[in-house]
Structure 1
Amino acid sequence: MARELEEVKWEKFKLGDLFRIKSNLQLNKNSFVFSENGEYPYFTRTVFNNGILGNVHYLDEEHKLKGNCLAVGMIAMRFFYMDKDFYAGQFTKRAIPIGFSLNSRLANYFITVLNKKSKIFQSSLVRNFEKVFKNEEVKLPVKNDGSIDFEFMTSFISELEARQISELEAYLVTTGLSDYVLTSEEEKFLEIFRENEVKWKKFKIGDLFEVNSYKKRFDANKVNILEEGHPYVVRTALNNGIRGYLKEDEEFLNEGNTISFGQDTATMFYQEKSYFTGDKIKIIKSKYKEFNKLNSHFFVSAMSKSFSTFAWGSSSFSISIIENQEIYLPIKNNEINFEFMETLISAIQKEIIKDVVLYTDKKIKATKKVVSNK
């Protein structure tokens, strides 16, 4: 970091001295047609996709808003950086810098600071937003002469970006996801799947897996959930079912290389490592030595599809119900075709990760260029 945070001086500034709030001349979305290759973003109150609902071609000069400013929707009160000229919908405003110019990194710094104030802005009436905004104070880094240290703010965000890109690059290499080029075998199996030329067979889950109860139930209200230790798997559909980590008696760890199954939600995830569980979790262990992390994605998808006809939460799935549920799997010579499953999953992963890797490569090159020019 160009300057250590401990060395930075901070001062409070009123937002009204930093930004001027302007209302946007609103353009009703029913008055035009969105276009995928439109050159102008259409900003609305959505909190997704940088607040952009879609893109449009040039409409008129009257409603076109000048970019390189911050835009905010009057419901969620979330700020976004609009680098290009844009059009806007109802109940949106702009925050235009006073006495300085934004760039993408400086904008990201201010967005982080301003979005921490969202609850304050949400608690005020829309008609009072500008007044509340002007009087709200934020802490910013300053130089020895008391002026805002915009250079530090830009450098700080730039170095954070470089660190994130470095970590992402390392992650892609470690996981093997940096390679997105399909092998001839992957291309062949992907084509077979797309052309619906796969031979399928129905199997009962109980013929493929042992369905076991957990070794011990750990009540979330009675354990210390940590950021390290062994995974603590519950019925959540988020984060691979992992709520956090526990340091408990390892005698009660459930076996890894299994599938965790939430009994009243039918949420299921492959668990590579040994894990503790919360309430109503079943441990599904394969009877086949070929079962692994890669083909587990195929099994989980097939099982999820099979259970999708049930009404979630209406009842708890018992061991017998799980065992008797049927799934379709690809076969070869009337046996489960593990090779096909693994090759297909590998191909799908590469297809999915391709755009991410290409985007990351561009970001890595751009970030290295910025860092080397400091």
Structure 2
Amino acid sequence: MGDLFEIGTGSLLPADEQIKGDVPRISVKTTDNGVLGSYNTAENQKARHFENVISVNFFGKAYYHPYKASFDMKVHTLKILNHPFNKETGLYFTSLINHRFAGQYSYGSQLSSSKLKNENFRIKVPVHTDGEIAFDYMETYIKELEAERIKELEAERIKELEAYLVATGLNDYVLSDDEKRLIANFRNWGGAWYSFNVKDLFGKSVRGKRLKSSDRIIGKLPFVTAGETDQGISAFVGNNVQIFKRNTTTIDMFGSAKYRNYEYGGDDHIAVVNTESLPKYASLFVTATLNKSAHTGKFDYSRNFYAKDADELQIMLPITTHQKPDYELMSRYIRAIEKLVIKGVVEWKDKQIKATKKVVSKNNVD
């Protein structure tokens, strides 16, 4: 070990100097690559910094660190002599060291830097016929392992995706001729569109009720407010609040409409349009038209969108020969759009499979 590596040791960082920052601190941990946390040690003269090294703590547990970090006094550092570390060689040596020291050290019998430097501490490494260390072999071996792991992960993701598509009934993504015509003629459905008042269609919209953050009790009910992040869900609460029905649409204070396929609560920054009697896909279509009508830039912090504004909205919908909203046609159209989205996901999945196979094949050849 002493012939292979430059061996160093970390240093103590007093509690009063442990200021949170962005430099990882490597300690005697057997999880998270030994990272205790991140501290502002860049300008601390007492903290010892190393980069692109292997750490070995007093339990004999090793990790590779390609980044700059500070190290605890119970952690030793190993830097290869006369050859640069890269990710592959660093990981290969780390594996060898972990195998060498597995189960040998504890609080009662700790691994010290002097022991590491002892000539009896040896590890077996691959070499060429001329006796030189086979760094090229190490790099190729680790790349092949990584490629195989990527392949396994992709297989797991693909299996999960396929199971999800089957469980949700989304595994059918082939467009019928009728659906192809629907999409192709979307903007020219015989001119059979009409402007409807939202209140006339769905009754009066409802406004949510304010619930201060400090009063919220952690629970399972999604609580909706204004915003695009996480679909406007600000928390999950257990408070006794009004519960709005699934298959309804919320419009927030900025005029942004979102479909909700679950029960939820809402604060006073949202209006709820009662579309629950519609088929799911028709409700999704209506949500899109509500968003087009309300989310125009007219509403902001100084001019909020309220339930009364929802009642005044006019939305354009395709109609039947009886001049009624054609919810069946809307449902078929949204289902066709959903198939296109699913098809895009499946095509992405297939590309990932091909890319993975290409990586594995290249590494095997190299």
Class of the TM-score when normalised by the shorter of the 2 chains: 0.5 to 0.7
In 2, are the aligned partners of 1:255 and 1:274 still within 8 Å (CA)? Answer: yes
Structure 1 residues 301, 338: closer, same or farther in 2, change over 3 A? same
State the alpha-carbon separation in 2 of the partners of residues 248 and 322 from structure 1.
27
Kindly state the Cα deviation for residue 193 of structure 1 after the two structures are TM-superposed: 1.4
Instruction: Give the Cα–Cα distance (whole angstroms) in 2 for the partners of residues 212 and 182 of structure 1.
Output: 38
What does residue range 197-346 of structure 1 map to in structure 2 within 5 Å? 197-209=190-202, 210-214=204-208, 216-224=209-217, 229-249=220-240, 252-262=242-252, 264-286=253-275, 289=277, 291-313=278-300, 314-333=302-321, 334-346=323-335
Q: Which moved more, 1:336-345 or 1:309-318?
A: 309-318
Partner of 2:22: none
Structure 2 Cα separation of the partners of residues 293 and 359 of structure 1: 27
Q: RMSD value over aligned CA atoms?
A: 4.3
Question: Are the equivalent residues in 2 in contact too, given 1:241–1:268 (CA < 8 A)?
Answer: no
The one-letter code of the counterpart of 2:246 is G
> Does the residue aligned with 2:347 lie in a helix, a strand or coil?
helix
Q: TM-score, normalised by structure 1?
A: 0.55
1:9–1:142 CA contact under 8 A, matched in 2: no
Classify 1:198/1:221 alpha carbon distance in 2 versus 1 (closer, same or farther; 3 Å): farther
Shift of the 297–198 alpha-carbon distance from structure 1 to 2, 3 Å rule, reads farther
Quote the Cα distance in structure 2 between the aligned partners of 1:15 and 1:155: 28
1:181 aligns with 2:171: no
Q: Secondary structure at the match of 1:252?
A: coil
- TM-score between both structures, scaled by the size of structure 2: 0.56
- Number of matched residues? 250
- Cα deviation, 1:261-302, whole Å, max 9, x if unaligned, reads 21x21122111121122341222113x83x132112211111
Does the 8 Å contact 1:11/1:142 carry over to 2?
A: no
Note closer, same or farther for the CA distance 1:159–1:246 as it changes in structure 2 (3 Å cut): farther
- Percent sequence identity over matched residues? 30
Identify the match of residue 163 of structure 1 among 149, 156, 178: 156
Cα distance in structure 2, aligned partners of 1:9 and 1:321? 52
Structure 2: state its 5+ residue gaps: 1-28, 36-48, 55-63, 69-83, 101-122, 126-137, 361-366
Q: How far apart, CA to CA, are the structure 2 residues paired with 1:185 and 1:153?
A: 46
Q: 1:10 to 1:282 in 2, by over 3 A?
A: closer
> Is the alpha carbon distance of 1:280 and 1:194 closer, same or farther for their aligned partners in structure 2, counting shifts above 3 Å?
closer
- Whole-angstrom CA distance in 2 between matches of 1:231 and 1:248: 11
> Please, which runs of 5 or more residues in structure 1 have no aligned partner?
1-5, 19-109, 119-133
* Structure 2 CA distance for partners of 1:252 and 1:8, relative to 1, 3 Å: closer
Please state whether the residue corresponding to 2:205 is helix, strand or coil.
strand
> Residue 295 of structure 1 aligns to a residue in which SS?
helix
- Residue identity opposite 2:342 in structure 1: I
- Offset, 1:185: 2.5
Q: Deviations over 1:96-155 (max 9, x none)?
A: xxxxxxxxxxxxxx9xx97xx79xxxxxxxxxxxxxxx99x9x95623157889376555
Contact 1:330–1:337 (Cα < 8 Å) also in 2: yes
Distance 1:166 1:192 in 2: 36
For 2:347 and 2:233, the matched residues in 1 are separated by: 30
How far did residue 232 of structure 1 move? 1.9
1:5-30 deviation per Cα after TM superposition (whole angstroms, max 9, x unaligned): x9999689965579xxxxxxxxxxxx
Separation in structure 1 between the aligned mates of residue 215 and residue 147 of structure 2, nearest angstrom: 45
Question: Aligned with 1:202: secondary structure?
Answer: strand
* Aligned counterpart, 2:349: 360
Q: CA 1:293–1:152 in 2, change beyond 3 Å: closer, same or farther? A: same
Indicate conservation of the 8 Å contact 2:256/2:295, yes or no. no
Q: Which residue of 2 aligns with 1:29?
A: none
Alpha-carbon separation, structure 1, partners of 2:244 and 2:292: 25
Q: Aligned partners of 2:318, 2:164: CA distance in 1, in Å?
A: 31
Do 1:259 and 1:283's aligned partners in 2 also have CA atoms closer than 8 Å? yes
Alpha-carbon distance, 1:241 to partner: 2.5
Deviation at 1:244, TM superposition (A): 4.0
Contact kept, 8 Å, 1:162 with 1:367, in 2: the verdict is: no
